[in-house]
């Protein structure tokens, strides 16, 4: 199960289709319409598995995605209007640059036909599209972007690994089972501004230590978010007959430093409820949050028309079997947003008012099913129940078997007593008759005695 996870995972992607791009360039409030889900089956397998001498194992986990039309509401050929991440990110990076360079950038954008908003297909946005701007930037600034050729939001995730994980096996120290020792050879990252925020804590996000209690928490390192995350216990539940603990995100997960001081290391911060991930995403002004800015400062959702945050649809959870630490059912949901604004000197940005504009949100979900679920239920739920009740049956049977010889012994003793009592009574009668006879012989005349004797 650890090497080839038998649970089918699905990636459901929702895009925020911008309805009024021209109005936004004139300084009006953005209006978006949610499109999707566009569902992909996610396949995972571990390779390069190496067991080390220090109670750890290293591995690479590869992922690939396959579109599922029957589960989707739309096709990959659907067109979506969304912000041009490359243009608006480059403009933000040049905000404090010299005016002459901004004018050159404006001219370059115009020559290449680049605009603040683009109309692309779902497939292009997800897995990449050719853009002359990428070739131009890579030519003159070769180390600015980590990718070459096509640019797509999930292009780096498909048919690739999530980094080299080294985790503890728990053979020598059971309490450390599944915990991450290193990721890509380091025990902490350098994206953030505090040691606490840079720490790699928890597991790789697939299994946790067994024998959980309501005081336990789920901590894991996410390479995509460039940070460790901690989920907290909410309630007990049952999944397909299997008892589970549900863990959810605390309100402080994406809180800013003023609301939750330990998160100060993730700043520069804006409104609470969103996390600036620009330092690990080629300095683009990207933000991570819950979908529709759920659990965030209400001003964020109010700034964009078409957002409707609610806990039923936009909160994340993990249902874990507490005895084994294996997830039974999970749904992790995150949103990616872009900070956009007008940059003086770059004409493509027009009069855009500063706003955190959602690009998309996605949910990774998986639930144990089929033969694996049946085996799990039989081995870890049904059999323990049978054994639990069997002990009482065996105890009752043992009591019955113990009572049988006791009852037999008691009845045997009663028979012996009755026999002894009757024997003793007969002896006394014989003695009485003999004494009576002797008394008659001594007191009566001889003839009378003989006569009575004859009688």
pLDDT digits (tens, 9 = 90+) for 160-172: 888 999 999 999 8
Does position 350 have pLDDT exceeding 70, yes or no? yes
Does position 425 have pLDDT exceeding 80, yes or no? no
Least confident window among 25-29, 170-174, 201-205, 419-423? 419-423
Q: What is the pLDDT of residue 412?
A: 77
Contact 109, 62 (CB under 8 A): no
Sorting pLDDT into bands at 50, 70 and 90, what band is 440?
Answer: low
Collect all residues with Cβ–Cβ distance below 8 Å to 5 and sequence separation of at least 6.
Answer: 44, 206
Sorting pLDDT into bands at 50, 70 and 90, what band is 417?
Answer: low
Q: What is the pLDDT of residue 454?
A: 47
Helix, strand or coil, per DSSP, at residue 184? coil
- Averaged confidence pLDDT in the chain: 87
Least confident window among 162-176, 277-291, 296-310, 369-383? 369-383
For β-strands 79-83 and 117-121, DSSP reports them as antiparallel
**CA-based Rg of the chain, rounded to a whole angstrom?**
40
Phi-psi region of 374 (alpha: psi -120 to 50; beta: other; left: phi over 0): alpha
Q: In terms of pLDDT, which residue wins out, 52 or 132?
A: 52
Contact 136, 163 (CB under 8 A): no
Q: What is the pLDDT of residue 206?
A: 85
Quick: pLDDT tens for 168-217: 999 988 889 999 999 999 999 999 999 999 999 999 988 899 999 999 99
Sorting pLDDT into bands at 50, 70 and 90, what band is 434?
Answer: low
Quick: pLDDT tens for 368-386: 888 888 888 888 888 888 8
Sorting pLDDT into bands at 50, 70 and 90, what band is 306?
Answer: very high
SS3 content of the chain, % helix, strand, coil (to 5): 35, 30, 35
Quick: pLDDT tens for 383-401: 888 888 888 899 999 998 8
Sorting pLDDT into bands at 50, 70 and 90, what band is 123?
Answer: very high
Does position 4 have pLDDT exceeding 90, yes or no? no
- What whole-number distance in Å separates Cα of residue 305 and Cα of residue 151? 28
Does position 75 have pLDDT exceeding 80, yes or no? yes
Does position 435 have pLDDT exceeding 50, yes or no? yes
């Amino acid at each position: 199960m650890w090497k080839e996870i038998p649970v089918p995972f699905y990636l459901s992607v929702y895009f925020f289709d911008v309805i009024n791009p021209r109005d936004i360039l004139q300084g009006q409030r953005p209006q978006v319409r949610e499109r999707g889900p566009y569902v992909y089956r996610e396949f995972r397998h571990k390779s390069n598995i190496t067991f080390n001498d220090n109670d750890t194992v290293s591995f690479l986990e590869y992922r690939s995605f396959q579109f599922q039309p029957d589960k989707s509401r739309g096709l990959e050929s659907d067109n979506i209007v969304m912000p041009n991440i490359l243009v608006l990110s480059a403009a933000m990076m040049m905000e404090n640059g010299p005016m002459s360079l901004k004018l050159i950038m404006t001219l370059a954008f115009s020559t290449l036909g680049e605009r603040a908003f683009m109309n692309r297909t779902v497939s292009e946005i997800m897995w990449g599209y050719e853009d002359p701007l990428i070739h131009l930037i890579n030519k003159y600034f070769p180390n600015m972007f980590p990718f070459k050729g096509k640019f797509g939001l999930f292009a780096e995730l498909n048919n690739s690994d999530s980094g080299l994980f080294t985790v503890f096996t728990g053979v020598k120290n059971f309490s450390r089972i599944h915990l991450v020792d290193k990721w890509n050879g380091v025990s902490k990252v350098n994206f953030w501004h505090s040691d606490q925020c840079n720490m790699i804590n928890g597991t790789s996000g697939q299994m946790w230590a067994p024998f959980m209690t309501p005081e336990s928490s789920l901590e894991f390192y996410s390479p995509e978010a460039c940070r460790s995350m901690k989920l907290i216990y909410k309630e007990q539940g049952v999944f397909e007959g299997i008892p589970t603990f549900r863990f959810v995100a605390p309100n402080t997960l994406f809180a800013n430093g003023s609301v939750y001081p330990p998160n100060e290391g993730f700043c520069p911060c804006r409104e609470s409820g969103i996390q600036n991930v620009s330092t690990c995403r080629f300095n683009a002004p990207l933000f991570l949050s819950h979908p529709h800015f759920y659990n965030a400062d209400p001003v964020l959702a109010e700034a964009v028309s078409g957002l409707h945050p609610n806990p039923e649809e936009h909160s994340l959870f993990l249902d874990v079997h507490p005895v084994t630490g294996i997830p039974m059912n999970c749904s992790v949901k995150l949103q990616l947003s872009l900070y956009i604004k007008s940059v003086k000197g770059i004409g493509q940005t027009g009069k855009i008012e500063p706003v955190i504009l959602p690009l998309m949100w996605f949910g990774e979900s998986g639930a144990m099913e089929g033969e694996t679920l049946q085996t799990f239920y039989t081995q870890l739920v049904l059999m323990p129940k049978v054994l639990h009740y069997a002990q009482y049956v065996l105890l009752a049977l043992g009591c019955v078997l113990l009572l049988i010889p006791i009852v037999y012994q008691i009845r045997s003793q009663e028979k012996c007593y009755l026999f002894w009592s009757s024997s003793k009574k007969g002896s006394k009668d014989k003695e009485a008759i003999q004494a009576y006879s002797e008394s008659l012989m001594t007191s009566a005349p001889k003839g009378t005695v003989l006569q009575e004797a004859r009688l």
